[in-house]
Structure 1
């Protein structure tokens, strides 16, 4: 990653008045050098607090085994084995360890699998083995005789599960590496050639990571899973070459990160393309490679993640386990060096643009998986623009029309020209003529096929029918970033009289001024003229001028979603601008 000087960066932070809660690497982060002993004690205390919670829960019977039980057991084991913990060598913990281990064995199928979401699932069983094997590793070096039963129960569960992973199947690309990482941990505890052979069998398929740093699923949820899995395999077998795709992916993760730690997921092929994912999930990976590679920028990112809301609850709680399992974690992080807080990155492989000017960010998405199909494994987000200014967040902009119920605009890529990013979509909707005689069937039972415009299916043998009355709609949206603001030019040509809708969705909880509340709608507003303003805390986003030529705001998703009775509406404060083709309009957001 391109670096900027510490002096220059601090000047930028001070000039823009950034604060640590919103912007990574603000000035105060560099003036508070963390003492490793203090941090380690902090995670020991967090572990003790979690163990107290777990002990209280275990006062009643374990009625259902969930994935979290693996971390509960690992945290209790870590507390027992950590000399500075208030629970060190505490005999009261042993019955709880035993209770959890027995519950796991009781829930385990004869083939070694557990039911987590999917029935008798090898990959889901692999997920719980990550903390369980860490617990077994920690307990292995503790010679307390009273632990022998727990060790035996854990060994029985792990070895039985190992056979399920050595022979079982899976569903998705990331499962290969989750299973392989679990096998690597099992092999480190109870070596067996079959475990290693199976890992190499999966690895022989290749670990795909494109030039931008994306794995196959392009999912931030599963990238975190893959990164941690590859690090585990790489360090235990050892296969250090597996660290390289992790480095590439972590570089991409940083440039996808908003100042508050949220990650951009427009181009994801999994369920997180419409949900919020945090860089918190990648803490272990940045931390590990910062030390292993002596990487000062990864060190800075790891320290920044420690300042984020949620770190204590979502990361610190389970961290002691990893520090006891892998000695490298206890080494001192290298002196941090700030990665760039100002950049412009065009990820051409997925038509995603990220622009950052300290605490102001712009995201553009021009589509990536064509044709648009509503299915897991396909990126189909219609969110083409997003903008943030500190705490003020425009979650997304969308564009829709009622042109033959084709719904939301999905750009057919992005072109960068003359300082502008241009998004474009051309749609043709034909009518169909009678079939030529040579394709006619006496029984009328024609091929069940998709219409040539991809909108629907029917037994009409569309591909062999002549077309007529072809309607066309051509949409061009150009975006030019100017000193922290964006000018968006909309041009919609072709069939006349088409209703168009521009939709803004701002983060819920803010205040809007200059707008008109739409009756009967929940958090729906119109901007009929002039400018509007959205404010959250001390930050605000201004946008306009407005236009409102019609009030047809239903069916924005189009036939593809409505035929499944689905909706893409999200939480937030929704603002609508409308027009009728031919449509030309310019909006400034800043």
Structure 2
């Protein structure tokens, strides 16, 4: 879109006579309401600040190929093209952009890819193509001679990279859509039926989304990537049906948003299942569909994200290029209508429960992938419960036993009964008898295989051995929420004398009372008394009743981790309740 058309568009949207005069930045974090006009001025101001920084950065040599270079070039392109920018048509921006694209071209492999994280990677190349294609689109109809070399260099890189995407492979489910979205952008710049043919080849595998709204990876990080890519393909290829899974996923995502903007990732199958991430990156997706669908709830979520900590630094800073490339983002939002902040949702496809009452939330999880194998792409999370009360955060609660070093409890699903969510796990650990005669080998070289309970491997041909002395541990945990108070009842039985441990991990930086610090073990505490309290800011979580029957609080993960010297321990303040089987104990958290 040409710049004059963009200016006219903005004037029509916002009723502006001119955009030449800018007011100081006023973030949504500071003001409850800001006009669309002021918001656009904030976007331009943010770009001004970023451009000023980039001009300093690129006065020195570029030494490392990184994805961020694409966004740097896009931000410089936006500053150059936007007439209200203080850098409008400044030659120094062209010099910096040319320097960036020359460096990227020098790093480009013979096949068109870049070494970005992975070697000669088509999908990683696709990620950097997104902002580079945005920059090329901004300049698409600009025939100013000073831009000629830059545009030619951009075209050279994009077309060569496009060929690598047209024939290259991928690693993960979302990579299919990352590559396809980049090809859609390239096709929009330099039409070629071969690009669309490759997109159709990937799309013919179909986009999986379950009945609750999860994509294959069940990851908030990669769900957002998928949403953004499907939006790109939908608008550039004129395929509106691609927006259907996006709507479904964004509807689900709302229920995973904590009051401060963090996202629940407990049921993820990717690396974010043990990370703290927030909703900021979903901003473009919610805003686009709020406007396109006149969706009042999505508009409210959009406004909420604008108030989340880090919005200016992580989102606003890169908004201008995307607004110039796709002006839909700048149309006024529909009148927001906030979705309910009081709900109880059971996501049966992943065995996750979310309960929210204003600024108090509970998360229950019982849906790991069995058998437990520690690998990216599998759900192995042992966080069975989490709780937030304003600023006070119980990051997770886990349950562990020393039953043959099987480690943390992982529920085999969730059932709902009489107002309670029931989690259950049964483990049988046998001893093995001699092999029957027909399976014995003269050289003693038996099949290398896992034990029948999956705890370890050896060349013992376990599947053909009779079993005896079978030991059992059977654990049931029921969780019931009542007016912001959660009651958890633990029952673990089968083999007597087994040490069990309930582990609380609170957000670091808070204050614990009613607990006793474990000697020579900072940030580890025992709750032997009736109740304990955790306070962060103005909010307090009360928990108890305590129990202290042993002091085994190390290596709770089990043998699958300890055999590789691994741990699942995160940053935090830990409180432990300990008991011996047969174990029956009730605690409340609220």
**TM-score of the pair, normalised by structure 1:** 0.94
SS of 2:139's equivalent? helix
- What CA distance in whole angstroms lies between the structure 1 residues aligned with 2:499 and 2:329? 58
Q: What's the offset of the Cα at 1:146?
A: 0.3
- What CA distance in whole angstroms lies between the structure 1 residues aligned with 2:273 and 2:33? 36
> What are the residue-to-residue correspondences of 1:382-401 with 2, within 5 Å?
382-401=382-401
- The residue aligned with 2:134 is 134
- The residue aligned with 1:418 is 418
Q: What's the offset of the Cα at 1:91?
A: 1.5
> What are the residue-to-residue correspondences of 1:534-573 with 2, within 5 Å?
534-573=534-573
- Match status 1:375 vs 2:375: yes
CA RMSD of aligned residues (A): 1.1
Q: What's the offset of the Cα at 1:141?
A: 2.5
4+ aligned runs moved over 6 Å, structure 1: 28-31
- The residue aligned with 2:98 is 98
- The residue aligned with 2:44 is 44
SS of 1:257's equivalent? coil
Q: Check the 8 A contact 1:29/1:304 in 2, yes or no.
A: no
- The residue aligned with 2:351 is 351
- What CA distance in whole angstroms lies between the structure 2 residues aligned with 1:48 and 1:235? 28
- The residue aligned with 1:197 is 197
- What CA distance in whole angstroms lies between the structure 2 residues aligned with 1:450 and 1:341? 47
- The residue aligned with 1:580 is 580
Q: Deviations over 1:446-498 (max 9, x none)?
A: 00011000000000000010000000000010001010010000001110000
Q: What's the offset of the Cα at 1:520?
A: 1.4
SS of 1:324's equivalent? helix
Q: Check the 8 A contact 1:305/1:311 in 2, yes or no.
A: yes
Q: What's the offset of the Cα at 1:29?
A: 9.5
Say if 1:127 and 1:428 are closer, same or farther in 2 by CA, change over 3 A: same
Which is worse superposed, 364-373 or 428-437?
364-373
Which is worse superposed, 74-83 or 90-99?
90-99
- The residue aligned with 1:255 is 255
Q: What's the offset of the Cα at 1:301?
A: 0.2
- What CA distance in whole angstroms lies between the structure 2 residues aligned with 1:505 and 1:189? 51
- What CA distance in whole angstroms lies between the structure 2 residues aligned with 1:488 and 1:423? 11
Q: Which ranges of structure 2 fall in alignment gaps of 5 or more residues?
A: 1-27
SS of 1:140's equivalent? coil
> What are the residue-to-residue correspondences of 1:101-250 with 2, within 5 Å?
101-250=101-250
- Match status 1:404 vs 2:404: yes
- The residue aligned with 2:463 is 463
Q: What's the offset of the Cα at 1:94?
A: 1.1
- The residue aligned with 1:501 is 501
SS of 2:486's equivalent? strand
SS of 2:96's equivalent? helix
Q: What's the offset of the Cα at 1:368?
A: 3.3
Q: What's the offset of the Cα at 1:33?
A: 3.7
- The residue aligned with 2:435 is 435
Q: Check the 8 A contact 2:368/2:381 in 1, yes or no.
A: no
- What CA distance in whole angstroms lies between the structure 2 residues aligned with 1:94 and 1:529? 68
- What CA distance in whole angstroms lies between the structure 1 residues aligned with 2:30 and 2:574? 39
Q: What's the offset of the Cα at 1:197?
A: 0.3
- What CA distance in whole angstroms lies between the structure 2 residues aligned with 1:141 and 1:294? 30
Q: What's the offset of the Cα at 1:370?
A: 1.1
- What CA distance in whole angstroms lies between the structure 2 residues aligned with 1:149 and 1:248? 43
Which is worse superposed, 386-395 or 558-567?
558-567
Which is worse superposed, 549-558 or 533-542?
549-558
SS of 1:382's equivalent? coil
- The residue aligned with 1:13 is none
- What CA distance in whole angstroms lies between the structure 2 residues aligned with 1:482 and 1:288? 38
- What CA distance in whole angstroms lies between the structure 2 residues aligned with 1:367 and 1:566? 22
Q: Check the 8 A contact 1:534/1:540 in 2, yes or no.
A: yes
Say if 1:31 and 1:171 are closer, same or farther in 2 by CA, change over 3 A: closer
Aligned residues: 563
- What CA distance in whole angstroms lies between the structure 2 residues aligned with 1:200 and 1:250? 24
Say if 1:30 and 1:338 are closer, same or farther in 2 by CA, change over 3 A: farther
- What CA distance in whole angstroms lies between the structure 2 residues aligned with 1:571 and 1:329? 38
Say if 1:30 and 1:555 are closer, same or farther in 2 by CA, change over 3 A: closer
Q: Check the 8 A contact 2:548/2:578 in 1, yes or no.
A: yes
- What CA distance in whole angstroms lies between the structure 1 residues aligned with 2:89 and 2:142? 9
SS of 2:160's equivalent? helix
- What CA distance in whole angstroms lies between the structure 2 residues aligned with 1:184 and 1:491? 55
- Match status 1:491 vs 2:491: yes
- Match status 1:308 vs 2:279: no
> What are the residue-to-residue correspondences of 1:53-68 with 2, within 5 Å?
53-68=53-68
Q: Check the 8 A contact 2:29/2:306 in 1, yes or no.
A: no
- The residue aligned with 1:24 is none
- What CA distance in whole angstroms lies between the structure 1 residues aligned with 2:102 and 2:321? 21
Q: What's the offset of the Cα at 1:31?
A: 9.4
Q: Check the 8 A contact 2:512/2:535 in 1, yes or no.
A: yes
Q: Deviations over 1:328-387 (max 9, x none)?
A: 112111000011100000000000000000000000000231111100100101000000
Q: Deviations over 1:158-184 (max 9, x none)?
A: 000000000000100000000000000
- What CA distance in whole angstroms lies between the structure 1 residues aligned with 2:529 and 2:76? 61
